[in-house]
Chain A
Amino acid sequence: MPINITMPALSPTMEEGNLAKWLVKEGDTVSAGDVIAEIETDKATMEVEAVDEGTVGKIVVPAGTAGVKVNELIAVLLEEGEDASAIDAGGGATAAKPEAEADKAPAVPESSTAIEVAAKAATDPVPAPKAADGGRIFSSPLARRLAQQNGLDLKALSGTGPHGRIVKRDIEAALAAGTGKAAPAAAAPAVAAAAPATATGPSADQVLKLFEEGSYELVPHDGMRKTIAKRLQESKQTIPHFYVSVDCELDALLALRAQLNGAAATDKDGKPAYKLSVNDMTIKALALALRDVPDANVSWTDDNMVKHKHADVGVAVSIPGGLITPIIRRAEEKPLSVISNEMKDYGKRAKERKLKPEEYQGGTTAVSNMGMMGVKDFSAVVNPPHATILAVGAGEKRPVVKDDALAIATVMTVTLSTDHRCVDGALGAELLAAFKGYIENPMSMLV
């Protein structure tokens, strides 16, 4: 009986691979253990060994074919005494085996047409998808096939069929609305821009069911709330977050700040030309740290590392109903007074919701300061295209050890969240060290 050779799963998560190279040709004799082909996955190139001996009867998938599904028939091996016509001899089982049978003995091809059929994606079994939590997503077979053909991710869709089953009309609606696109299989799951809101949480009905009627009121989301929800959900689902914390002593900075504010010129109404805040100095320190550690001043795209030449620092401003992050452009170049005044203007206009899109879109990093609210430390969510965000806690007097003796210092804890795809742990630590250097030796910010 001819033996089917199917695309092997080289790792538990592998769904498809590229058939890079055949090391045998039709008519070659192979014995068990011989390397017959090379398969490329997104991670590695692996060798495929023959598990039986025989003659290569037919190579079904030619070398250089990309995206060959696991368990797809790639070649047929003939046993001793068989010739190629044996491939056409009738058998029982179908050539294409569903995944569950991956480890069983290769199946017998039914006929030559069956081999061709097996190689056609359209007739491949479409495995029922799993939800993010591993649960089953209920969907009709036609909906699954349409989703596959149109590159939609069923996890991103909600169903309108019985008990939320995803049916054909849901696929059609998603196609019409342009939603639910699956991330390209070859790319990392990030692709922030191309993968809008993925896994759906419990439905409104499921949530409301848990509360007594009348015990709540419903406030419809405004555009800002929807944007915050969408962008932060997307960020947490697509960006591998990584956190680094450090304590900074503030006494020198506070002293300098008092000195600088005291030296500010006043206009004829007695209003000072600037009034620096700790936050303004934090912005400047982060901008300078990014200038010093340029590898951390980056954005991730699938194809390239985007290395920024300037530190554009977004600053989270809390406003009624949400928050917004206006951006101090080229903050590393700007004097503290300019930063401070820009921030005052931004803060005022942000509360009036009068910021222009170019004032809050983009940026290379961000600062979120909750110190004024007495928060000791927290971790912020990276706001793409940024690769980092600095969460700033309150400056408070804490016991510290100096020269092996307890002392009192004003200390602020900051936590840097990084997108680990482009800012690794050590790089994040390096950036924080630079930041700490400016905060604890604030005079260096002035030169």
Chain B
Amino acid sequence: MADTNYDVIIIGSGPGGYVTAIRASQLGLKTAIVEREHLGGICLNWGCIPTKALLRSAEIYHYMQHARDYGLSADNVSFDPAAVVKRSRGVSGQLNGGVGFLMKKNKVDVIWGEGKITKTGEVTVSKSSKKAMEPQHPAPKGVKGEGVYKAKHIIVATGARPRVIPGIEPDGKDIWTYFEAMVPPAMPKSLIVMGSGAIGIEFASFYKTMGADVTVIEMMPTIMPVEDPEISGLAKKQMEKQGLKFLTDAKVSKVVKGSGKVTATVETKDGKSQEISAEKLISAVGVVGNIENLGLEALGVKTDRGCVAIDGYGRTSVPGIYAIGDVAGPPMLAHKAEHEGVICVEKIAGKDVHAMDKSMIPGCTYCNPQVASVGLTEPRAKEAGYKVKVGRFPFMGNGKAIALGEPEGLIKTIFDEKTGQLLGAHMVGAEVTELIQGFVVAMNLETTEEDLMHTVFPHPTLSEMMKESVLDAYGRVLNI
């Protein structure tokens, strides 16, 4: 009889769950992870990672179409949708296998099936009730099977799934979620994207680059509503130049399917109504936590707006049960889940650890142009009562950006006038998703404008714009 007693059992092997498992094991805790469908969760099977692969194909395609701008020639540029998808699945498969390897390396037992907390300290694993999304990566070898497992600490890391709007339920054929959008059998000629958050805007950008006629419908007044409006406004302008169409302050009230097209009735705030038809519609109106069928209700675990309610250390209202990642509430980001999980197990292991600080979690969107941010937007900083100093630096003033042929974009920094604390940084333009981390480190180390101004940034890089933006906030900008 195999040992079924653990210190920690984690339900869900997404980026939150598997990182938590590795950290738990590093801390000397006997750890198992329960997974019903795919190691790595949505992130690396149907989310972050495969979309980045698709967007990379789109990016290179875009460059090839504009080869002449760089003095190169590339004629009859075309693509094979099946090959683009195949590459994306390959990237995902490689990382999926990698998680299996990491579990083995860290001596984390993988239990294959659907986990349910049958009572405090006990997880019953049974056959998955969910229809797996095809194509599936092969299940890992050497996993444990269905049965009853015991653990002192049970961490729920079951993630989230697409939100469904009643009357516009995804059918997988005409109305897609990110699952279907990830593996298109053919490129649609026209597309409606409902929702302009990170998921919606990335698919909109991908399909637009691949030649589709794309309309994005957003309920809020600005696209990418969590971003600084100045930044999202610039992103919108650039995407409109590429031919993307946006309807903001707009709501899809009805969708009619028929003869190879979907027709959406869109009502705008000004009271007008219009019908838009396209080959496909992607529903990207957010995600909801997977809190069902886990036994949480029976145990009396408190929830809050469809997510498990936790404290800063992942503890739920029931001792011994924890939650991390998307299922524990926004921001629903892989890197937030990872850190939440690490804090959670370090606390369990008795480490002196500080509670999760959600004010410095960066966000990245990989549309063209890219958008990245951390901290407070300008309106939010003002709402919070800060008197702010705002710095801006456009890509046009940066040598590297011009050399790259990417002169569009902006880096914006927001400081507290009183203390010089960096409150937020917001960027739009080429490669900004790789730049933002500089400011994230700065914020975490509590730097002020003074330290940033005294830091030498390498030349020629896009990162020089970060310093220039800081200088601009204090009236000392150099290159504009």
Answer whether residue B450 sits at the interface, using C-beta atoms and an 8 A cutoff.
Answer: yes
Measured in the bound complex, the distance between the Cα atoms of B448 and A149 in whole Å is 14
Within the assembled complex, what's the spacing in Å between the Cα atoms of A140 and B474? 21
- Indicate if the CB atoms of B474 and A123 lie closer than 8 Å: yes
> Does residue A336 face the partner (Cβ distance < 8 Å to B)?
no
From A169, which residue of chain B is reached at the shortest CB distance? Answer: B354
In-complex Cβ contact of A141 among B354, B447, B475 (8 A): B447
B419 touching A149 by the CB < 8 A rule?
Answer: yes
Which residues on B sit within 8 Å (CB–CB) of A167? 446
- Contact, CB under 8 Å: A145 / B475: no
Cβ-defined partner of B420 (8 Å) among A117, A122, A160 = A122
Residues of B within 8 A of A145 (CB): 419-420, 448
CB atoms of B421 and A142 under 8 A apart: yes
Main secondary structure of the interface of A (DSSP, over half): helix
- The answer on a CB contact under 8 Å between A141 and B451 is yes
Residue on B with the closest CB to A142?
Answer: B446
CB of B241 closer than 8 Å to a CB of A:
no
Residue on A with the closest CB to B447? A141
Q: Judging by beta carbons under 8 Å apart, are B448 and A142 in contact? A: yes
B contact residues around A117 at 8 Å (CB): 474-475
The distance in angstroms between the C-alpha atoms of A146 and B450, with both chains bound, is 14
A-side contacts of B476, CB under 8 Å: 110
B-contact bits for A92-128, CB 8 A (1 contact / 0 none): 0000000000000000001001000100001101100
Please measure, in the bound complex, the distance between the C-alpha atom of A181 and the C-alpha atom of B421, giving whole angstroms: 22
Residues 107 to 134 of chain B near chain A (Cβ within 8 Å): none
Closest to B454 in A: A125
- Size category, A interface: 10 to 19
B418 proximity list for chain A (CB < 8 A): 122, 149
**Contact A143:B419 (CB < 8 A) given known A113-B475, A123-B474, A160-B354:** no
Select B419's contact among A110, A113, A142, beta carbons within 8 Å. Answer: A142
Q: How far is the CA of A160 from the CA of B352 in the complex (A)?
A: 10
Closest Cβ of chain B to A168, distance in Å, is 5
Q: A123-B450, A160-B354, A168-B446 are in contact. Are A142 and B475 (CB under 8 A)?
A: no
| B419 A140 Cβ-Cβ under 8 A | no
Most chain B beta-carbon contacts within 10 A, residue among A117, A142, A146, A149: A142
**A142 in contact with B354 given A123-B474, A167-B446, A168-B446 (CB within 8 Å):** no
Within 8 A of A (CB), among B398-438: 418-421
Per the bound structure, the CA–CA distance linking A122 and B415 in Å amounts to 13
Within the complex, what minimum Cβ distance (angstroms) separates B422 from chain A? 9
* Residue pair B445, A140 in contact (C-beta under 8 Å): yes
Residues of the B chain whose Cβ atoms lie less than 8 Å from the Cβ of A168? 421, 446
A-B contact count (CB 8 A): 37
B446 touches A125 (CB 8 A): no
Determine the chain B residues whose CB is within 8 A of the CB of A141 once the complex forms. Answer: 445-448, 450-451
B:437-474 near A, CB below 8 Å: 445-448, 450-451, 474
Across the interface, name the chain B residue whose C-beta is closest to A160. B354
Chain A residues positioned under 8 Å from B451 (CB to CB)? 141
Give complex CA distance A98, B100 in Å.
Answer: 54
Closest to B357 in A: A169
Distance in Å: Cβ of B192 to nearest Cβ of chain A: 46
Of residues 120 through 174 on chain A, the ones whose CB sits less than 8 Å from some CB of chain B are 122-123, 125-126, 140-143, 145-146, 149, 160, 167-168
- Quote the shortest CB–CB distance from B107 to chain A (angstroms): 28
Against B, the Cβ 8 Å flags (1 = close, 0 = not) of A270-314 are 000000000000000000000000000000000000000000000
C-alpha spacing A123/B475, complex, angstroms: 13
Min CB distance A209 to B, Å, is 15
What A residues does B475 contact at CB under 8 A?
113, 117
Q: Please, which residues of chain A bring their CB within 8 A of the CB of B419?
A: 142, 145-146, 149
Which residue from A126, A140, A149 sits with its C-beta under 8 Å from B447? A140
CA distance A143 to B419 in the complex (A): 9
Q: Which chain B residues lie closer than 8 Å to A140 at the CB level?
A: 445-447
Give the distance to chain B from A134, nearest Cβ to Cβ, in Å.
23
In whole angstroms, how far apart are the Cα atoms of A110 and B476 in the complex? 10
CB distance from B478 to the nearest CB of A (A): 11
* Least CB distance, B446 to chain A, in whole angstroms: 3
In the assembled complex, which residues on chain A have CB atoms less than 8 Å from the CB atom of B446? 140-143, 167-168
A126 to B419, CA, bound (A): 12
Closest A residue, CB atoms, query B445: A140
B7 to chain A, nearest CB (A): 23
- The docked-state distance in angstroms from the alpha carbon of A122 to that of B416 is 12
Write the B334-345 contact mask toward A (1 if CB under 8 angstroms, else 0).
000000000000
Indicate with 1 or 0, residue by residue over A49-62, a CB within 8 angstroms of chain B CB atoms: 00000000000000
Complex Cα gap A168–B445 (Å): 10
Contacts of B421 in A (CB 8 A): 142, 168
C-alpha gap A141/B455 in the complex (Å): 13
C-alpha gap A146/B354 in the complex (Å):
21
Contacts of A113 in B (CB 8 A): 475
Mask: chain A, 19-31; 1 = CB below 8 Å from B; 0 = not: 0000000000000
User: Closest CB-CB distance, A160 to chain B, in whole Å?
Assistant: 7
Q: What are the 7 A-B residue pairs with the smallest beta carbon separation, nearest first? A: A140-B446, A142-B446, A141-B448, A141-B451, A142-B421, A141-B447, A168-B446
Beyond A113-B475, A125-B450, A140-B445, 11 additional pairs, beta carbon < 8 A: A122-B420, A123-B450, A141-B445, A141-B451, A142-B419, A142-B420, A142-B421, A142-B447, A145-B419, A145-B420, A149-B419
Task: List 5 A-B pairs, Cβ < 8 Å.
Answer: A110-B476, A123-B474, A125-B450, A149-B418, A167-B446
